[in-house]
Structure 1
Amino acid sequence: MIAAIKDIIKNSNHIAVLTGAGVSTASGIPDFRSSEGLWTAERSREELMSSAFFHENPEEFWHYYKSIFKLKLLQNYGPNQVHRFLNELEYGRERVDIVTQNVDGLHTAAGNGNVIEYHGTLKTASCPVCGTTFSLEKVIEETIPYCSCGNILKPDVVLFGDMIRFHEEAENLVKKADLTLVLGTSLSVMPFNMLPMVATGTKILINNYPTDKDYMFDYCIHDDLSEVIEKLKA
């Protein structure tokens, strides 16, 4: 199967890549859903990381947000072999588009030119009133980050209850691609998990365990993502 997939990738001119937390784990970044010691029976992660909770109690929200995402450590992470492989795919092709659920910014750091951060980014925060955007450094420095206009900043990740801004754009990309390559995601989060359904080209899934959406794909590999990528590069 590896040989067949290598041949498909080699002959694909426009590749759409959908990525999830499994792409970043090799960089040492855990899936925030697996965070321990931060959830209680009274408050689920969905509540704590919701737009409603931010607007109701922004000070408390920022306490949980910084703990969950460990923002101070974010600057210590870098792209891994999966990110670099996707960057190398761009050479000599018409187009490679990355649509990622990850909010760590590592696809852009690896040099990919066309990246849609489907769930936003940890790298910045913006004022919900005047719209001014600030860097991660300011967010880290201040316990509760404020805008110069006096309002508390809102992180630029998509919180529970927020609208997904780029779904239609992502759909258009997978519809046009010769190949849709899905890496390191369980495809359990809507509406991201609906993107493979509208893809018209060959569809390949590589994840470390089966998903409920395996039936959508022409090829599925259930194995360690980094190890599979090394085989595809060989």
Structure 2
Amino acid sequence: MYAAITNQIRKATNIVVLTGAGVSTDSGIPDFRSTNGIWEEDRSREYFMSNEYFQKNPRDFWTKYKSIFHLKLAGNFRPNLTHHFIKQLEEIGKEVTVITQNVDGLHKKAGNQKVIEYHGTLTTASCPTCYKSYPLSYILEHAIPYCTDCSISIKPDIVLFGDMITEHEKAEAAIEKADFLLVLGTSLFVTPFNSLPIYATKYCNVPSAIINREPTIMDDTFSYVIHQELKKGITEICNLYPLNMKAQG
């Protein structure tokens, strides 16, 4: 199976990579939907991380937000083997678009050129009124970060529960140009993100593969399916398709 996936990567010129929390766990970041994941550990967190709660109580929202996402540690996390593998595909001349559910910003930190942050990013926040953007350093300096121009609480640039997804059409447009879809480290539990593999395979006829630690309800959608720890899976591919990996994560 690894040989078949590697062959698809080798001959592809335009690759779309869908990534989920399983990519970031090798960087020490907790996932969301596993037994000990951020949401499953305490289901009330979904309400506290909603747009409704942000509007109702921005002060307490920011306190909980910083705690739930371990925001003080966010700058310490580093890209791992999988991030660098994707970057190296770009380095050898592949057109690569990453569509990620992850909000940690590690794909951009790894140097990926085309990243669609489907659920936004923890690394910035913006004013809901004037849209002025603020970096993580500003967020961490203030218990409740306010817009310096509008004097209202700024809002994290992640998709909160109840927010609209704004990147879906951009994601579909990237898939329409692809000749291979690689899905890494996601349970494909969350909608509408989990409709993207269906769009690729059923409507765009793009060959596809998924590598995930556990089975997903959408495994039948893919041409190739591997249930494996992601680091081991990417290592297998690198053994078959050696790349100049600058960092091993």
- TM-score when normalising by structure 2: 0.90
Question: Displaced runs of 4+ in structure 1, greater than 4 A?
Answer: none
> Which residue matches 2:245?
none
> Which residue matches 1:141?
141
1:228 aligns with 2:229: no
> Which residue matches 1:189?
190
Distance 2:188 2:39 in 1: 22
Matches within 5 A, 1:31-110: 31-33=31-33, 34-35=37-38, 39=42, 44-110=44-110
> Which residue matches 2:157?
156
C-alpha displacement of 1:175: 2.2
Distance 1:134 1:104 in 2: 16
1:212 aligns with 2:211: no
Distance 1:181 1:38 in 2: 29
Give the 3-state SS of the residue equivalent to 2:91 in structure 1: coil
- Code of the residue aligned with 2:76 in structure 1: it is N
C-alpha displacement of 1:63: 1.1
Change in Cα spacing, 1:37 to 1:63, as seen in structure 2 (3 Å) is: farther
Deviations 1:109-158 (A, max 9, x none): 11110000000000001111221110100101111111112101100000
Give the 3-state SS of the residue equivalent to 2:82 in structure 1: helix
Structure 2 alignment gaps of length 5 or more: 240-249
Distance 1:69 1:60 in 2: 14
Distance 1:15 1:152 in 2: 39
Distance 1:37 1:215 in 2: 26
- TM-score when normalising by structure 1: 0.95
Deviations 1:173-225 (A, max 9, x none): 11221000000000000000000011121110000000000010000000100
Q: Is 134-143 or 85-94 further displaced after alignment?
A: 85-94
Give the 3-state SS of the residue equivalent to 2:47 in structure 1: helix
Aligned length: 231
